[in-house]
Structure 1
Amino acid sequence: MIEILTGSALNTVQDLGRPRAMTMGVARGGAMDACALMVGNALLGNDAHDAGIEIAFFPFRVRFHKRVNLALTGACGPVRLDERMLPANWAITAQPGQVLAIAPPLRGARMYLAIEGGIDVPVVLGARSTDLKGGFGGFHGRALNKGDMLPCHPASMMIPEGGYGLAVPLSLPCAEETVVRILPAAEYEMFVPQARAALQSGIWSLTPSINRTGYRLDGPSLDLAVPLGLFSHGIVPGTIQVPPSGKPIIQMADANTCGGYPKIATVVEPDLRLLAQSSVGSIVRFVEVTREEVVTEMRAQALRSEQLIVELASLRRTLIPWRSQSCPA
């Protein structure tokens, strides 16, 4: 079991979400930085879809009540297992009674705690992710509170004393600004030329109005050429909508499944994680790319992920099963 020692409305159990449920009006959900969670699962030999804990409020502390293998990925900052400092993107064994303490990140905004075998919560609509709007999935359909006890699987392999991790860290947004790539959306041509130019040339900042559903930006006003009334229609994570205020909203992991605001652009899937790792006040810049460039990048990213999984699987084959050890469980 894992005992949560610090509660927050922002820390939840997440996996890779429910993309097929969007046809039923259910948000895709899942980890805001899916790449970080997948790397954590890969470090432990988990299935890519196993659930972990998304940590967006710090400091965060948990106590382990059984021996478990864990991995921490995502944002970089001070992390201690009792008195041992842990590197970023690292896997290690926690013993019963040990406390993991995570301080606010120095770079990035979200960390992911993966456990060997995944967090053992029920599958709802095809996933273990917490849907905060719907109040289902994850741990009782809500954020984690102090005193919660999460079921998890015991360690099956003996990780070396110091643990192991990635030699090359995961990419995180630059301290100065976050650059994300976009594709024009359905109503792009209906905005005035100055608005289309300002989308890329303007300096945008993340306002305090950000959550798992969407990020509201502050910057130049994006005006339509003529007033436009739209019926609500399907939208997805990455959609950039422009309400009457002219200030854009980027739909994130818990994106609404439909909306009527005009859409000026869409953030490409690989760059949503960069936004997820950006904090309030961060500067955001948009760069338009072609669909072909995005497809090429996504294929290369998938290949790199496959290679990483193969390399980590080879490393784990050198580890010793716990069942062959004489020490008590």
Structure 2
Amino acid sequence: MIEIIETGPFNTIQDLGRPGYRDIGVTASGAMDPLAVKIGNILVGNDDDAAAIEVQTFPFKLRFGTGAVFAVTGADGSPVLDDRELIAWCTHVAEPGQILELKQPPRLARAYIVFRGGLDVPVLMGSRSTSLRGGFGGNAGRALVNGNRIDFGTSADALPLPAGGLAVVEPAVALKDVFPAPVDGVLSVRAVVAGEHELFAADGEAFWNQSWRISSSSDRTGYRLSGEPIKPTATVEMRSHGVVPGVIQVPPAGEPIIQMSDANTAGGYPKIAGVVECDLWRLGQARIGTRLRFVRSTHAEARAVEQAVARYVEDVRRTSQMVKRALKAMA
């Protein structure tokens, strides 16, 4: 069990989301950086979609009411357990009464605290994720507040851990050839052309050729981008259509919106492009004010990135199981 002792707004319980209900108006929700949750769960021995705490406002502190195995993934920076700095992307053991603190990370936006056994909150429509807009899931549909107490779930993984913890090379480093670092502070994001791209004519090229800034009017629903407005060649009246995370729509003012984890289930703005799914975790770690440039991609390139990420995840899974089994055999 854990008790929240210091938190800011919008820190929530999230897993990999609840896809499959958009036809009845239910957004998928889920972690803004699903790769961080998946890797954290592998490290502590959970199923990939076990619930974790998503921290996006800092500092954040919790007290362990019982002993626990945990890992902190996602944002850069070092977690602190009872004033002792820990390594991120690594398993650790906490004793009852110890306090875990996450301070403001230097560059990135969101950290994830993953516990062996996950968090024991109700499963609604196949997920434990919090939907703040819907008011359900996670912590009774609300952000975490001081005093909240949350139990751990049960874990089938009883394999031992190395004395120094089980660590992994984080995705940004392990996959640096796939996800290049920002150049001059500009983050490159792969996207494919979407259905209404041709409506923008020359402005369509302006979308790709300029850098955009994530505005302060951004949240888990969508990132609003600031830049030189782009507009279709003629006013187009469109019926609402289904949208998913990664879709980039252009409202009448001409500044695009990227749909994110709490994306609307439908919308009528024209779609100029769609971020490839495997790049969404990078957007989930982008702060307000981050500059972006969209790189025109193809479905084949998107598939290649997907395969590279899948190989990385499976390598982490295989190595984790191999180390734990070796330790068990030595016991």
Distance 1:161 1:13 in 2: 29
Q: Bigger shift: 172-181 or 272-281?
A: 172-181
Partner of 2:24: 24
Show the counterpart of 1:327.
Answer: none
Kept in 2, the 8 Å contact 1:93–1:158? The answer is no
Q: Kindly state the Cα deviation for residue 305 of structure 1 after the two structures are TM-superposed.
A: 1.2
- SS in structure 1 of the partner of residue 142 of structure 2: coil
Q: 1:93, 1:159 within 8 Å by CA — same for their partners in 2?
A: no
C-alpha distance in structure 2 between counterparts of 1:182 and 1:216, whole Å: 16
Q: Match for residue 201 of structure 1? A: 209
| Structure 2 counterpart of 1:151 | 151
- Contact 1:180/1:287 (CA < 8 Å) preserved in 2? yes
**Distance (Å, rounded) in 2 between the aligned partners of 1:91 and 1:216:** 36
Contact 1:202/1:285 (<8 A) preserved? yes
Pairwise CA distance, 1:164: 2.6
- Taking the aligned partners of 2:265 and 2:73, their CA distance within structure 1 comes to 29
Aligned residue for 1:179, secondary structure, equals strand
- Amino acid aligned to 1:80: V
- What's the secondary structure of 1:191's corresponding residue? helix
Task: Specify the alignment match of 1:279 in structure 2.
Answer: 287
Give the match for residue 167 of structure 2. 165
What's 1:310 paired with?
318
SS of equivalent residue, structure 1 residue 108: coil
Name the structure 2 match of 1:73. 73
- Scaled by the length of structure 1, the TM-score of the pair is 0.93
- Pick from 260, 275, 284: which aligns with 1:267? 275
Residue number in structure 1 paired with 2:176: none
Task: Work out which of the residue numbers 215, 229, 232 in structure 1 matches 2:240.
Answer: 232
2:229 counterpart (217, 221, 230): 221
2:118 and 2:303 map into 1 onto residues whose CA distance is 30
By how many angstroms is 1:318 displaced? 3.8
Deviations 1:189-238 (A, max 9, x none): 01121x11111111111111111100000001111011011111101100
Instruction: Report matched runs for 1:100-115 at 5 Å.
Output: 100-115=100-115
Q: Is the 8 A contact 2:160 2:324 kept in 1?
A: no
Are the counterparts in 1 of residues 42 and 317 from structure 2 also a CA contact under 8 Å?
Answer: yes
More moved, 153-162 vs 77-86: 153-162
CA distance in 2, matches of 1:220, 1:309: 44
1:119 aligns with 2:119: yes
1:47-83 CA distance string (max 9 Å, x none)? 0011000110101101001010001101111311112
Q: What is the CA distance between 1:23 and its match in structure 2?
A: 2.2
TM-score, scaled to structure 2:
0.93
**Amino acid of the structure 1 residue aligned with 2:253:** S
Q: Select 2:309's aligned residue among 301, 305, 309.
A: 301
- 1:163 is displaced (CA, Å) by 2.0
- Paired AA for residue 205 in structure 1: R
Aligned to 2:188: 179
Counterpart Cα distance in 2 of 1:319 and 1:76:
29
Q: Quick check: 1:41–1:114 contact (8 Å CA) kept in 2?
A: yes
One-letter amino acid matched to 1:119: L
Which residue number in structure 1 is paired with residue 254 of structure 2? 246
Unaligned runs of at least 5 residues, structure 2: 174-180
Query: Could you tell me the percent identity over the aligned residues?
Result: 44
Cα offsets for 1:134-190 (capped at 9, x unmatched): 001111111100000011147855544432311x22218637121100111110001
2:159 touches 2:325 (CA, 8 Å); kept in 1? no
Post-superposition CA distance 1:251-271 (Å, at most 9, x none): 000100000111110011011
Is contact 1:14–1:51 with CA below 8 Å preserved after alignment? yes
- 2:50 corresponds to 1:50: yes
Cα offset, 1:299, TM superposition: 2.1
Answer whether contact 1:69 1:159 (CA < 8 A) is retained: no
Residues 99 and 319 of structure 1, relative CA distance in 2, 3 Å threshold: farther
Match in the other structure for 1:189? 198
Question: More strand by proportion, 1 or 2?
Answer: 1
2:90 match: 90
Give the conservation status (yes or no) of the 8 Å contact 1:239–1:263: yes
Aligned length: 320
